[in-house]
């Protein structure tokens, strides 16, 4: 496969290929190294011919959360989530399916069901990325939600967008990125 270089030009939306540099714990060190390079060196992102590199909605996150209904209420406050479907809760207060819309995309989740082979596993190595038009609005709302932790403050990045990371009380990392 032949790849072309991405030219250093402003983009309407964030490029997920750029953002994924920050999804691992050691990536803060990598990012600092990149930020020290000259802007002309930052045009080396490779995009497959015929593609734009813009995020698409074809993959839907399905999260396992201890306390799915509490998480849905939290995501409503932090991200303006809208609940669109839910399986009724069982006698233990768990639900096997809850579907939210966040920023025009779907996020689905369920409680752990160890008796059916779905034991709780602590989230690790995942960042849910919100590419938004009004980064200040989204950051302010999310960062002020009770229980949200700032992992990486919102700041201008080497690729031209503003980017910050948060961790919700359920252990999931969220990136907010935009102009």
Q: What is the pLDDT of residues 90-131, one digit of tens each?
A: 999 999 999 999 999 999 999 999 999 999 999 999 999 999
Domain presence at residue 121? yes
Domain presence at residue 7? no
Residue 141 is part of which domain span? Answer: 14-41+60-178
Enter the tokens of residue 148.
Answer: 């949200």
Q: What is the pLDDT of residue 10?
A: 38
Domain presence at residue 84? yes
Q: What is the pLDDT of residue 7?
A: 38
Instruction: Quote the CA–CA distance of 49 and 4 in Å, as a whole number.
Output: 6
Report the domain count for the chain: 1
CATH code (residue 127): 3.10.180.10
Domain presence at residue 99? yes
Instruction: Quote the CA–CA distance of 89 and 111 in Å, as a whole number.
Output: 10
Long-range interactions of 29-33: CB distance < 8 A, separation 24+: 31/157, 31/158
Instruction: Note the pLDDT tens digit of each residue in 117-171.
Output: 999 999 999 999 999 999 999 999 999 999 999 999 999 999 899 999 999 999 9
Percent of the chain scored above 70 by pLDDT?
72
Domain presence at residue 76? yes
Instruction: Note the pLDDT tens digit of each residue in 33-79.
Output: 444 444 444 445 566 788 776 656 778 899 999 999 999 999 999 99
4: closest CA among 43, 49, 36?
49
Q: What is the pLDDT of residue 12?
A: 41
On the question of pLDDT at 28 being above 80, the answer is: no
Q: Are 105 and 57 in contact (CB under 8 A)?
A: yes
């Amino acid at each position: 496969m032949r790849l072309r270089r991405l030219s250093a030009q402003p983009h309407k939306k964030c490029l997920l290929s750029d953002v994924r540099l920050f999804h691992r714990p050691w990536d803060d060190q990598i990012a600092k190294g990149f930020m020290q390079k000259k802007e002309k060196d930052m045009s080396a992102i490779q995009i497959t011919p015929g593609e734009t590199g813009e995020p698409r909605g074809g993959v839907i996150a399905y999260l396992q959360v201890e306390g799915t209904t509490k998480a849905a209420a939290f995501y409503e406050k932090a991200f303006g989530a809208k609940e669109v479907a839910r399986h009724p809760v069982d006698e233990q207060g768990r639900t096997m399916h809850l579907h939210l819309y966040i920023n025009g995309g779907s996020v689905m989740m369920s409680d752990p069901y160890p008796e059916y082979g779905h034991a709780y596993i602590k989230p690790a190595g995942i960042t849910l990325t919100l590419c938004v038009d009004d980064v200040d609005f989204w950051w302010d709302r999310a960062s002020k939600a009770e229980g949200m932790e700032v992992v990486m403050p919102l700041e201008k990045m080497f690729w031209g967008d503003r980017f910050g990371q948060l961790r919700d009380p359920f252990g999931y990392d969220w990136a907010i990125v935009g102009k």
